[in-house]
Structure 1
Amino acid sequence: TLPEKKMVFKGLVTNKEDTNKLMLTPLIRYPLPGGSALVTFEKAKVAQRIIAAKEHVVELSYGEELEEHDRCRVQVQAAPVELLLPSTLEMGLARSSRSILVSDLPSLGISDESLLDKLELFFSKTKNGGGEVESREFLDDSSQVVLTFAEDGVAEPLIARGRIQVLIGKGKYELKISPCMNGDITSLQLQPCCCPRTVLLSGIPPVLGQESMRDTLEIHFQKASRGGGEVDALAYVPAGWWGVAVFTEDVALP
């Protein structure tokens, strides 16, 4: 079963006027059950070699001089990591009649909440072309604020002005006022994709502590004699636990 996907949409900020672009950034969370690990290698060919072997016997007593009958080994299974990625997206966009998008905010060295207070104070005054502010919030991962007014007829004149001089503290700053667009996904098609450099290991018994098992797995799969190679990242979840791995865009060389 492939994991549920949460899609995050961000406005593409540019210096050009009248742009209508959206940037889609998938946030992929992969559930990791207990007794498993994810190993990401620097080279995709190493991961594919590990997957092709399917089963691996891992030595648990590296660095110790033991007789053969005293050595401890475990057998783990290797499999590809499959994710669902968006291939086609359709959205319906609607312009909010009561909200504005405020950008080009200055860096004043104050908290976000203090800046929101100052913006609300300015835009709640009718002499500034504003009105009662119903809500205010920063957009995630951006320096833009959405202000929503309690009544219709306030947002449109501000948007028509385009830019406005705003008194914040002892200084005046020119802020950009844009329409606020609300969007709903009308169609989303996903396609399966295998992570080229990451391997899922399963069937790992709880015979070592979490850190010791993690180190043991990394030592084993870095050995060229075992078919491995340089390990870029490794996440291990002990039996009885659950973990979540977050996947981002792969920019490594093949």
Structure 2
Amino acid sequence: MTESDEDSFIYLPNDSISSIGFLETMEEQTAREIKRYQDILKALEIDHLSLESSREQCEQEASRYQEAAESLHTKLLEYEDQAKAQKLAFQKEIERQTKERNQLLQEKEALEKELEQIEKLSIAKESLHKVDISLPERSVVFKGHAEEAEKEQTLPDPVVTQPQVRCPIPGGSALITFEDPEVANRIIEMGQHRVQLDECTYVNVKAEPMTLLLLASVEISVARSSRQVLLSGLPMLSVPEDKLLDKLELFFSKRQNQGGEVERVERLSGSGHVALTFVEDGVVERLVQRGRFQIPIGKEKHEIKVSHYVSGEITDFQFRPSVCDQTILLSGIPDVLDEELMRETLEIHFQKPSKGGGEVEAVVYVPTGVSAAAVFEEAKTM
């Protein structure tokens, strides 16, 4: 036995174990080892089966994820195509709207220019159709005429066209007109006056200037009617008015006379003219363009002029205060004498130069509880 052979064996003391016991121990160890490895193999097989199942599940999951990814990719491509299409459509819409906006801006500019022209024409037309009449300043004076006034009347009629102006006078007051304006001014400057009624009775009255609101200017808006004409130049005939109007209506209702169906015919009071109203538009222009017509009335023909019917309306008026130079207002007169006696007493008092007075032209006294309207007339210029 070589030295190497000796090294490959383990020598046990003969006195520790027997050969039979040693063999049994080796067999048990080997069996245990085999059993252990069998258990490990079985566990490995179980792990292998579990891993195989997990692998299949992972492959299935991966397959599903792959399919989902492919579906998402497809949808993404579709969305990209849709986005490109929408972008292109938006660009075209923006171009269309930009073009339309430019057209609208051009139309707006054209309309603004047209509106500017219309406004200029409207202003020019309005200035032609509005007449501003400035009335000359005039002086009025009270000459003693007064009328019974309604209690609610406080101002004169704003459209005063007559030379007379009516102004309400409250109860307990009087108006006195002096021949000399200097006397009226002196009485007003004195203010309070002590008027003797009898030997023992006096009353105090206050003298004030009499101020009226007179019409200073009137603005009249005039307009031409599209269906009315004015017939002027009618002669003074013995033909009754109704027959004259019938003849005019019949003449101007005929087409050969450039007329049309007449809706109304009326004689304008105070002027002698006649107004014809037609049913249709266009008749007025034909008649006015011709201007004059020879109309048979009675046994003769008379020339009648046809012109536009122009109506006017007062659109504005202005008043100005005017102080009566010769007339004063006395207020605060107590009701202690009858009307006639008080009027005479006031007239006598204010005629005395010693009281600052002078020659009286007119007097009116309005007792307490009574109201009247004094009539002022235009003063004559010297």
Secondary structure in 2 matching 1:7: coil
State the aligned residue count: 223
The gaps in structure 1 that reach 5 residues or longer are 10-24, 62-67
Q: Which amino acid aligns with 1:54?
A: G
1:76-121 CA-to-partner distances (Å, cap 9, x unmatched) read 22111222234444332212234444556667799xxx74x45533
Q: Which amino acid aligns with 1:47?
A: A
Match of 1:213 among 342, 355, 377: 342
Equivalent-residue separation in structure 2 for 1:77 and 1:190 (angstroms): 27
- 1:55 is matched with 192
1:191-227 CA-to-partner distances (Å, cap 9, x unmatched) read 3221212111112223333333333323332333322
- 2:380 is matched with 251
State yes or no: 1:40 paired with 2:192: no
- For normalisation by structure 2, the TM-score amounts to 0.47
- 2:166 is matched with 29
- 1:197 is matched with 326
- 2:370 is matched with 241
Equivalent-residue separation in structure 1 for 2:297 and 2:345 (angstroms): 57
Are residues 41 and 186 of structure 1, via their aligned partners in 2, closer, same or farther at CA, if it must alter by over 3 Å? same
Deviation at residue 167 of structure 1 after TM alignment: 7.3
Q: Which amino acid aligns with 1:97?
A: S
Instruction: Describe how 1:96-175 pairs up with structure 2 within 5 A.
Output: 96-101=225-230, 115=241, 117-125=242-250, 126=253, 132=262, 134=264, 136=266, 138-139=268-269, 142-145=270-273, 147-149=275-277, 151=279, 152=281, 159=288
> Does the 8 Å contact 1:123/1:131 carry over to 2?
no
Greater Cα radius of gyration, structure 1 or 2: 2
Deviation at residue 37 of structure 1 after TM alignment: 2.0
- 2:158 is matched with 6
Secondary structure in 2 matching 1:95: strand
Secondary structure in 2 matching 1:124: helix
1:119-142 CA-to-partner distances (Å, cap 9, x unmatched) read 533332236868646363645xx4
> Does the 8 Å contact 1:46/1:229 carry over to 2?
yes
Structure with higher strand content: 1
Equivalent-residue separation in structure 1 for 2:349 and 2:295 (angstroms): 61
> Does the 8 Å contact 1:133/1:147 carry over to 2?
no
> Does the 8 Å contact 1:210/1:236 carry over to 2?
yes
Secondary structure in 2 matching 1:184: strand
> Does the 8 Å contact 2:233/2:273 carry over to 1?
no
Identical counterparts, % of pairs: 48
- 1:84 is matched with 213
RMSD of aligned alpha carbons: 3.8
Deviation at residue 178 of structure 1 after TM alignment: 4.5
Structure with higher helix content: 2
> Does the 8 Å contact 1:146/1:180 carry over to 2?
no
Equivalent-residue separation in structure 1 for 2:173 and 2:299 (angstroms): 57
Equivalent-residue separation in structure 1 for 2:166 and 2:335 (angstroms): 24
Are residues 37 and 94 of structure 1, via their aligned partners in 2, closer, same or farther at CA, if it must alter by over 3 Å? same
> Does the 8 Å contact 1:123/1:133 carry over to 2?
no
Q: Which amino acid aligns with 1:121?
A: D
Deviation at residue 175 of structure 1 after TM alignment: 6.0
State yes or no: 1:180 paired with 2:305: no
Are residues 234 and 148 of structure 1, via their aligned partners in 2, closer, same or farther at CA, if it must alter by over 3 Å? farther
Secondary structure in 1 matching 2:378: coil
1:28-53 CA-to-partner distances (Å, cap 9, x unmatched) read 43111112222222221121111111
